[in-house]
A and B are shown apart, each in its own frame.
Chain A
Amino acid sequence: MSASTSTLLIPLHAKYVQSLGESKDDLMYHLTAHLRMNAIYWGLTALCTMNHKDALNREEMIEFVMSCWDDEAGGGFGAHPDHDAHIHSTLSAIQILIMQDALDRVDVDRVVKFILSLQQPSGVFAGDQWGEIDTRFLYCAVNALSLLGRLHELDVEKTVGYVRQCRNFDGGFGAVAGAESHAAMVFVCTATLAILDRLDEIDQEMLGWWLAERQVPSGGLNGRPEKLEDVCYSFWVLSAMAILKKVPWIDSDKLIAFILSAQDTDHGGIADRPGNQADVFHTHFGIAGLSLLGYPGLADLDPVYCMPARVIERMGLRKGWEGLPRKAS
């Protein structure tokens, strides 16, 4: 056990991601239809980070993404064909198409219109016409508009104003104004402010410390004080730390060992913590965390956009983040 989880099993994880689309007769596959577009984005980004981008068929993927276009909603993507457009699946669709160099398939004007239509008077964004609001959707909007080169159409003051309202006395950020600080929300708020060049809104030292305190004795990271560690926070916490250039503040060796210990060494994939069932979400965020920690053999992942750094650099969107230097072996 200890020997087999001491390294990242790249070929096995690539095979695991590849196999995910093959179990369509499984009830779980259908119960998670509302996350299908996101799952493809997680799988593809994980493969890109492992330098195995070609493990999934490009044409099929683009066809699937385009089949989720929701014409009635005015110009967004649903998570699955026949699902209503949602800002989260719309961001994933755009990220996939950019990674596959196929953005020309999209009517960008209509997507931008759809996204902007979801901003509320308070500055926050709703996820869809149903009206769920939180800072995650706000980040989805800002990220997507930036990727589409249409940030100038956003009311930046109003948007930043809402993020400011979500800041708490401990230096962190919550999902909505008044809500408790949570590492995932810290990530979305920090990345939003990075994209908008407004990191001056953050007390960076205080927030950096709050993030560093998320590391627990097992080496893993939790999302709030006194909660269990979970592999997905390897990305939420680390990406925010990378944006603030504070990754060295935690014990990277212990965190790497924790992520590796959550691998399924038989079937591939990474779980939330050792011994649990692997899934594509934790696989992606575990590998993303390892990339930011300079794990050898991985490609750089941009923590602001959560996409391959090479792609973001080519688009001229790179912000001043810093992960740990890539190790040789």
Chain B
Amino acid sequence: MSAESEDVPLYAERPEWSDVVPVPQYQGVDALAPINYSAEYQDATDYFRGIIRMGETSPRVLKLTRDIINMNPAHYSAWQYRYKTLIAIGADLTEELRQMDDFALTNMKTYQVWHHRRLLLTALRSRDAAAGELAFTARVLAADAKNYHTWSYRQWLLAHFNDEERLWAGERAWVEDLLEKDVRNNSAWHHRFFVVWSSGVREGDEDREAVGRRELAFAKEKIALAPNNPSAWNYLRGVLEHTKTPLSALTTFVQLYTVSSPSIAPEVMDLDNPVPTEGAQLPCVNALEFQADIYEQEGGTQITKAVEIWKSLANEYDTMRKKYWEYRIKEGLQTTHT
């Protein structure tokens, strides 16, 4: 407990709480040992159980539940009762959000923090509030760019309020900025796919073919920066799959990444096929896998080439998953023979 909490009297010592009968914690069948943990926590939760028994919803309940949540952010009954109380007394929910901002920042890994906000936003039914929450989650993600609950909450906000101009419009540029900072952030790659492909068509994105080209170019550019980044390769494959483009459309690009040192004519700048950044570790496993998949799809005699690549993955470049590559070799050879 912090030093300042010593100056605060227990609920049991406060006259304004004297009408509540504290209910002690059930101590279990084998509770022979005396309970001897934090007096503040015990005191507050005893009064909380007392309040629940009375069914009281009032401003002082907000204070009590806040105290408990501060001591134990995962106390879901306290959260639940706090929300019930806020609604019952017609509290200012926007004010509640603001009051919980710092708390959410320091306890961002607690699921309840985000569920509470989601309930508040659902009750508020306000696009202003939703826009404010986008800004707030951006602040949280700036502190921890992979926080799962925060990302899910942001995706919920976008889908639930579904406002093109106020919410969706800035989303792609924002997530691009995150990828600028960390090109290996899988959460950001996922979010990009969510925004561009799996939650409707954004304004200005009506020409899907152009969008497909833009996204392939984007992924290729990011792969060039950091070739051994499975998130970018997954995105690339996701776009191909979604737009029903054959893998072989990327043969020229992929081949730059399947050799130890690509032979590049320096005078030719091929924008469609950005070259690996200098010093990158090549060949790259994801590219080899991609190239083998192209050969396998082409079938016939190309299978031999695929098998060669799988062998190199099994024995040299990705030995940890040797059994997987051996499985691919077996499957590939079976297909040719049938």
CB distance from A225 to the nearest CB of B (A): 4
> Within 8 Å of chain B (Cβ to Cβ): is A82?
yes
Measured between beta carbons, the chain A residues less than 8 angstroms from B194 are 178
Identity of the chain B residue whose Cβ is nearest the Cβ of A36 in the assembled complex: B28
Q: What is the interface size of chain A, counting residues whose CB is below 8 A from a CB of the partner?
A: 51
Chain A nearest Cβ from B328, distance in angstroms: 9
CB of A215 to closest CB in B, whole Å: 6
Q: In the complex the two chains form, what is the Cα distance from A255 to B91 in whole Å?
A: 52
B49-A82 in contact (CB<8A): yes
0/1 string, B72-107, CB within 8 A of A gives 1: 101111011001000000000000000000000000
- Say whether A25 contacts B37, CB under 8 Å: yes
Q: Closest B-chain residue to A83, C-beta based?
A: B77
| Chain-B contact segment, one of A167-175, A262-270, A309-317 | A167-175
Chain B residues within 8 Å of chain A by Cβ, number: 62
Do B231 and A226 touch across chains, with their CB atoms under 8 A apart? yes
Instruction: From B12-20, B127-135, B144-152, B265-273, give the one contacting chain A.
Output: B144-152
A residues near B49, Cβ cutoff 8 Å? 82
* Chain A residues whose C-beta falls within 8 Å of the C-beta of B31 in the assembled complex: 24
Tell me the total A-B contact number using a CB cutoff of 8 A: 138
Contact A31 B241 (CB under 8 A): no
Tell me the bound Cα distance from A79 to B160 in angstroms. 31
B41→A225 contact, CB < 8 A? no
Given contacts A84-B80, A130-B80, whether A249 and B324 have CB atoms under 8 Å apart is yes
Tell me whether A212 and B75 are in contact (CB under 8 A).
no
CB of B54 within 8 Å of the partner chain: no
* Cα of A212 to Cα of B322 in the assembled complex, Å: 11
Inter-chain contact B320/A215, CB cutoff 8 Å: yes
Q: From residue A9, how far is it (CB to closest CB) to chain B in Å?
A: 26
User: Are the C-beta atoms of A130 and B115 separated by less than 8 Å?
Assistant: yes
Of A44-52, A59-67, A104-112, A152-160, which binds chain B? A59-67
Instruction: Decide if A197 is an interface residue (CB 8 Å cutoff).
Output: no
With A180-B151, A226-B186, A251-B321 already in contact, the answer to whether A29 and B37 are too (CB < 8 A) is yes
Q: Quick check: B321 and A215 within 8 Å, CB to CB?
A: yes
Contact of B198 among A30, A131, A178, A209 (CB under 8 A): A178
User: Does A212 contact B321, Cβ atoms closer than 8 Å?
Assistant: yes
Q: Does B111 contact A (CB under 8 A)?
A: yes
Cross-chain contact A224 with B186 (CB below 8 angstroms): yes
What are 23 A-B contacts with C-beta separation under 8 Å?
A24-B33, A30-B35, A67-B28, A67-B29, A82-B49, A86-B76, A132-B112, A169-B197, A169-B235, A169-B241, A176-B152, A178-B152, A179-B152, A180-B152, A212-B324, A215-B321, A224-B146, A224-B186, A226-B184, A227-B186, A249-B324, A250-B324, A251-B321
Residue B119, interface by CB 8 Å: yes
Chain A 207-229 against B: per-residue CB contact (8 Å), 1 yes, 0 no? 01100110101000000111100
Q: How far is the CA of A29 from the CA of B72 in the complex (A)?
A: 12
Is B251 engaged at the interface, CB distance under 8 Å to the other chain?
A: no
Kindly state whether residue B203 has any CB partner on chain A within 8 Å: no
Q: Tell me if B299 counts as interface (CB < 8 A to partner A).
A: no
Instruction: Determine if A3 is an interface residue (Cβ-Cβ < 8 Å).
Output: no
Closest CB-CB distance, B114 to chain A, in whole Å?
A: 9
Q: How far is the CB of A251 from chain B (nearest CB, A)?
A: 5
- Picked from A174, A175, A178, A254, the residue with its CB within 8 Å of the CB of B199 is A178
Q: Is B304's CB within 8 Å of the partner chain A?
A: no
Contact for A25 among B36, B72, B112, B231, CB less than 8 A: B36
> What separation, in Å, do the CA atoms of A49 and B319 have in the docked complex?
31
Say whether B190 faces chain A, with CB atoms less than 8 Å apart: yes
Which of B26, B119, B242 makes the CB contact (< 8 A) with A81?
Answer: B26
Q: How far is the CB of B327 from chain A (nearest CB, A)?
A: 7
Contact with B along A267-287 (1 / 0, CB 8 A): 000000000000000000000
CB of A21 closer than 8 Å to a CB of B? yes
Interface residues of B in 175-209 (CB under 8 A from A): 184-187, 190-191, 193-194, 197-199
